[in-house]
Chain A
Amino acid sequence: MARQLNQMQDWARETRLTRARIVVLATLMLLVMAGLLYRYFYLQIVQNETFRAQSDRNRIAVRAVAPTRGVIVDREGRLLAENLPSFTLALTPERISNLDETLSALTELLDLSEDDIALFSETRRRTRPLSPVPLKYRLSESERALLAVNKYRFEGISILTELTRNYPEGSLLGHAIGYVGRIGKDDITPADTERYRGITHIGKVGLEAYYEPLLRGELGVSQIETNARGVDLRVVDRIEPTPGAQLKLHLDTELQRVAAEALGDMRGAVVAIDTQSGGVLAAFSNPGYDPNKFVNGISFGDYALLRDSRDAPLLNRVIQGQYPPASTVKPMLGLAGLNRGVVAIDTLIADPGYYTLPGDDRRYRDWILRIRGTGHADFMNLRDSIAQSCDVYFYELANRLGIDALSASLFDFGIGSLTGIDLPSEKRGILPSAEWKRDAIGSSWYGGETLIVGIGQGYMLATPLQLAVATSAVAMRGTAYKPQLVASVAGEAVTPEPLLSVTAPTEYWDEVVAGMVDTVFAPRGTAAGMRRGLNYTIAGKTGTAQVVGIAQDAIYDEESLSEYQRNHGWFIAFAPVEAPKIAIAVLTENGGGGSSAYPVARAMLDYWMTRHES
């Protein structure tokens, strides 16, 4: 009984002891559970926004959607720069069990080069996992067919379609349109990096470069849900990109083609301007290049060929070629002479075939001297001097004007200034003056140099475009517009901007223009050779620019000079004379003289006048 009682006491004591422990335990458990619940409350409610944002960052990848680049069309709506679907073979390495085997099989099938494979490996390193890596761009029709037939043999290969810039006219418009190329690291400023996310190409040259911001368009944004491995799952939200603007040019592709065909193999430049607006109707520089080669990266060899060629195919001669304008400045200087009163319409100047400055026995020869051994006539007036390109008259005129007035007059016609055409990298040429010589060469001006400048030689350099604009100013009796390739952007017409304004009495203009008409139509006009069969009127002026200096007594002998030392030929013209529509400047590099240039202008004017007869 006592033992039982003892056990009873033990049991009761143990029960008390353990129950006390249970109370402590229960308290602890409830506290800990409450604490943990608070932890979840804290994460889910208090910090909800933070983690919500974090989760979205995890989940949603923001991808830029590249806009479609604006197309470029000519005045008739012909496509000059378009976006064509191009097919790219791509591999997803993660889905291919034996990559080397697949690559060698594809090499056999498509004749891949080692460069292709190397580029693939390089690109692969920069590509996100599980994404297709491009292997071969611009698959041809037959390559695509081959792949389609053999697709069952390969796993993880795909054909990507993307839009690639294409220039249907190739080298015909290479210089004017320019080209886009893959974006290099120097092509965009850090500030623009955002704008170009997802865009692979950028305008590098020509209109493509000049109008890059308009052609590019604005990026769209696509929010894509991805998983932890970065695999795209679905599009959550998408803001469509704004496509680039369509550019419509003043340019007429057919006129351009006529110019190119007329120029043939000759190196040179042709530019035609709508005198009413400054619109550039044709701008051709020969030789050119095929812009399509640059779009997806030109091979080093091809590029070296273009870069190192003596014929400088990469040079856009229309705006970058700088040549002595030679006799093409004579109408402008004639006007300046009349305007400034140093000569009158009926002023006659003796022409023995050469000119000497008072107190100097150096003879400044007229080009006619070596042909006829004498001058154009005993006395020459302005009109005939323009038509026959009499040097002696203009030596005298230049001498009377003096270099400062001469320079100022040509400045008024835009010589030595940028025209502001909508193309990058325009050159300004050189308009020499006493001041210019002091700054550029560091010596003072000599009177004889004024004479040389008076016939467009010496230091003076001009681009074909500058001369076309100046011609347009003569045609329009003093007014010329800024030359402009683009007529409208996204359907909105570009307003012509006045560029030159030369004021002179009408009779002065008439006299100068009459001289230019005679150039073509008078029997002794320097371009008389082009007048056969003309059924409209042309006012023109030839020019022959010396490439090498001819010594005092030496005779220019074309045969003895190498091709690259021959004279350049110029011809500037506008038509029709009564109501000028079109002004043209043609330069034939080492073409020998003006007679090499005016057939090009004739061909173009024929085309243009026929088209616009009505």
Chain B
Amino acid sequence: MSHDFERVSQVSSRDLGSRIAFLRLLHIDLWLFIPLLSLSVGGLAVLYSASGQSEPMMTAQIRNLFIAFAVLLMTAQLRLETLKIVSPYVFALGLVLLVGVAFFGVGAKGAQRWLSLGFIRFQPSEIMKVAMPLAIAWWLSKKALPPTSKSLLIAAMMVATPSFLILQQPDLGTSLLVASSGLAVIYMAGIQWRYILSLVLIALVSIWPAWVFVLKDYQKQRILTLFNPESDRLGAGWNIIQSKTAIGSGGWEGLGWTQGSQAQLDFLPEGHTDFIIAVLAEEFGFRGVSLLFVFYTAILLRGLIITWRAQSSFARLLAGALITTFFFGLVVNLGMVSGLLPVVGVPLPMVSYGGTAMVSMMVAFGMLMAISTEKPVTRAMR
């Protein structure tokens, strides 16, 4: 546990010279910050079009972004040690709240995801998105890596319990993201490949029982529709058909900002939230999509570099898990909108309309920045 503080510095000062002093002071990782900001600003332009040029929605989203970036900067100031200490408590709190949702939650559209404190409503599952990697990283970094079977078993329990609670809400998308954030830590911790293979095998085997016992009818419908959208043109297949049509009609250059007929004429459902990339693809074409991919890939690579350079195992596990979770959410969204994955409610990071998901993601990036800009302890001691 203490080796984080006692290690011999391998950290060179090669990245320090290039940074402006105040960014260093503010714990801002420029290479993460630039694509995040670009996506946010570009995302606003897309949202303006996707929302049917709705000013209230723009105002709300700008407010969301201010809050999110404030959260990003605040989180970035946290010391890793603090994070490590609070992580089990945050996890416990999240778990309690999830149980609370199961009993006292309020819902919309048949799902019970929200907890209302009277003045504010929030989704405890969002807390779990952050609490899960923190707690697993905390747990696994207590002992030498790779973890023992016993540690792994406990870690697996820690992953399974909240994921199951979220799945029951039901919120398949978030459940998968939360579970993947925990599993990412376990993967980073160096779990043997044979365990990973076994897990994949178990997953494959459990498809059938999961289909019969776990998945709700609407979830099954979404999966079935994926393989044959035409089977239910005006029902479950509608989203997929319309989003593929929107994407496909964009071509190289797109139809122009606010000119996409699929988006502007209401053919595309959820165009301002989960399916916003279809609007971008239709109006800005493959060029716009490519630019979006450049930003996301930059974030992913920067996240991996931060992980690579992280100074402690806890930091590495956490950073690796955070960027993997981000990656996972991104893939699910990009995949479902383009008709490769079933439709689950996962927003496009930084671009989709909505505050909660953005804030929890910014907490994750804040922690990544905290890791990236952490002063080597040894240097401080020197």
Residues of chain A with a CB closer than 8 A to B221's CB? none
Residues of chain A with a CB closer than 8 A to B6's CB? 4, 7
The contact string, 1 if C-beta is below 8 Å from chain A, for chain B 67-86, is 00000000000000000000
Q: Which of B29-43 contact A (CB under 8 A)?
A: none
CB <8 Å contact, A18 and B246: no
Q: Identify the closest chain B residue to A41 (Cβ).
A: B286
- Tell me whether A107 is interfacial, beta carbon within 8 Å: no
CA distance A44 to B250 in the complex (A): 6
Residues of chain B with a CB closer than 8 A to A17's CB? 145-146, 190
Main secondary structure of the interface of A (DSSP, over half): helix
CB <8 Å contact, B300 and A40: no
CB <8 Å contact, A44 and B281: yes
The contact string, 1 if C-beta is below 8 Å from chain A, for chain B 313-332, is 10011001000100100010
CA distance A19 to B188 in the complex (A): 9
Given A11-B3, A226-B265, answer yes or no on A54-B340 (Cβ-Cβ < 8 Å): no
Residues of chain B with a CB closer than 8 A to A13's CB? 145
Q: Identify the closest chain A residue to B313 (Cβ).
A: A14
CA distance A44 to B337 in the complex (A): 13
CB <8 Å contact, B144 and A54: no
Choice from B8, B267, B290, B338 contacting A227 with Cβ under 8 Å: B267
Q: Identify the closest chain A residue to B285 (Cβ).
A: A44
Q: Identify the closest chain A residue to B2 (Cβ).
A: A7
- Tell me whether A348 is interfacial, beta carbon within 8 Å: no
CB <8 Å contact, A26 and B3: no
Residues of chain B with a CB closer than 8 A to A535's CB? none
The contact string, 1 if C-beta is below 8 Å from chain B, for chain A 18-45, is 1111100110011011001101110111
CB <8 Å contact, B248 and A233: no
CA distance A300 to B6 in the complex (A): 103
The contact string, 1 if C-beta is below 8 Å from chain A, for chain B 332-350, is 0011001010000000000
- Tell me whether A55 is interfacial, beta carbon within 8 Å: yes
- Tell me whether A95 is interfacial, beta carbon within 8 Å: no
Residues of chain A with a CB closer than 8 A to B290's CB? 37
- Tell me whether A503 is interfacial, beta carbon within 8 Å: no
- Tell me whether A536 is interfacial, beta carbon within 8 Å: no
Residues of chain A with a CB closer than 8 A to B304's CB? 22, 25-26, 29
CB <8 Å contact, A58 and B320: no
CA distance A51 to B278 in the complex (A): 13
- Tell me whether A10 is interfacial, beta carbon within 8 Å: yes
Name the interface size band of chain B: 35 or more
The contact string, 1 if C-beta is below 8 Å from chain A, for chain B 243-277, is 01111111110000000011001110000000000
- Tell me whether A531 is interfacial, beta carbon within 8 Å: no
Q: Which of B112-130 contact A (CB under 8 A)?
A: none
- Tell me whether A50 is interfacial, beta carbon within 8 Å: yes
Choice from A8, A26, A30, A50 contacting B7 with Cβ under 8 Å: A8
CB <8 Å contact, A227 and B265: yes
Name the interface size band of chain A: 35 or more
- Tell me whether A384 is interfacial, beta carbon within 8 Å: no
Q: Identify the closest chain B residue to A229 (Cβ).
A: B266
A214 to chain B, nearest CB (A): 40
Q: Identify the closest chain B residue to A19 (Cβ).
A: B308
- Tell me whether B66 is interfacial, beta carbon within 8 Å: no
Q: Which of B279-308 contact A (CB under 8 A)?
A: 281, 285-286, 289-290, 293, 296-297, 300-301, 304, 307-308
Choice from A33, A55, A229 contacting B261 with Cβ under 8 Å: A55
CA distance A59 to B252 in the complex (A): 20
CB <8 Å contact, A18 and B281: no
- Tell me whether B164 is interfacial, beta carbon within 8 Å: no
CB <8 Å contact, A33 and B245: no
Choice from A4, A22, A40, A54 contacting B338 with Cβ under 8 Å: A40
CA distance A226 to B267 in the complex (A): 10
CA distance A262 to B196 in the complex (A): 108
- Tell me whether B187 is interfacial, beta carbon within 8 Å: yes
Residues of chain B with a CB closer than 8 A to A50's CB? 248
CB <8 Å contact, A47 and B289: no
CB <8 Å contact, B327 and A29: yes
- Tell me whether A228 is interfacial, beta carbon within 8 Å: yes
CA distance A48 to B316 in the complex (A): 43
Residues of chain B with a CB closer than 8 A to A29's CB? 297, 300, 304, 327
CB <8 Å contact, A18 and B297: no
CB <8 Å contact, A40 and B246: no
A23 to chain B, nearest CB (A): 9
CB <8 Å contact, A45 and B252: yes
CA distance A51 to B189 in the complex (A): 45
- Tell me whether A225 is interfacial, beta carbon within 8 Å: yes
Q: Identify the closest chain A residue to B191 (Cβ).
A: A21
- Tell me whether A363 is interfacial, beta carbon within 8 Å: no
CB <8 Å contact, A51 and B335: no
- Tell me whether A151 is interfacial, beta carbon within 8 Å: no
Given A44-B289, A227-B266, answer yes or no on A55-B7 (Cβ-Cβ < 8 Å): no
Given A32-B331, A41-B286, answer yes or no on A51-B247 (Cβ-Cβ < 8 Å): yes
Which of A30, A36, A52, A229 has the most chain B CB within a 10 Å cutoff? A36
CB <8 Å contact, B281 and A40: yes
The contact string, 1 if C-beta is below 8 Å from chain A, for chain B 26-64, is 000000000000000000000000000000000000000
CA distance A59 to B249 in the complex (A): 12
B342 to chain A, nearest CB (A): 15
Residues of chain A with a CB closer than 8 A to B249's CB? 48, 51-52, 54-55
Residues of chain B with a CB closer than 8 A to A45's CB? 251-252, 286
CA distance A4 to B5 in the complex (A): 11
CB <8 Å contact, B286 and A18: no
The contact string, 1 if C-beta is below 8 Å from chain A, for chain B 178-199, is 0000000001111000000000
Residues of chain A with a CB closer than 8 A to B246's CB? 51, 55
CB <8 Å contact, B188 and A18: yes
CB <8 Å contact, A18 and B316: yes
Q: A21-B187, A56-B261 are in contact. List 10 more A-B contacts (CB 8 A).
A: A7-B3, A10-B144, A14-B145, A22-B308, A44-B281, A44-B289, A45-B252, A48-B248, A59-B265, A225-B261
Kindly list the 7 A-B residue pairs having the minimum CB-CB distance in the complex, ordered from nearest: A51-B248, A55-B249, A227-B265, A17-B190, A228-B266, A44-B286, A59-B261
User: B interface vs A, CB < 8 Å?
Assistant: 3, 6-8, 144-146, 187-190, 242, 244-252, 261-262, 265-267, 281, 285-286, 289-290, 293, 296-297, 300-301, 304, 307-308, 313, 316-317, 320, 324, 327, 331, 334-335, 338, 340
A-B contact pairs, 11 of them (CB 8 A): A14-B190, A17-B190, A22-B304, A22-B320, A25-B304, A33-B300, A40-B338, A44-B247, A44-B285, A55-B248, A229-B266
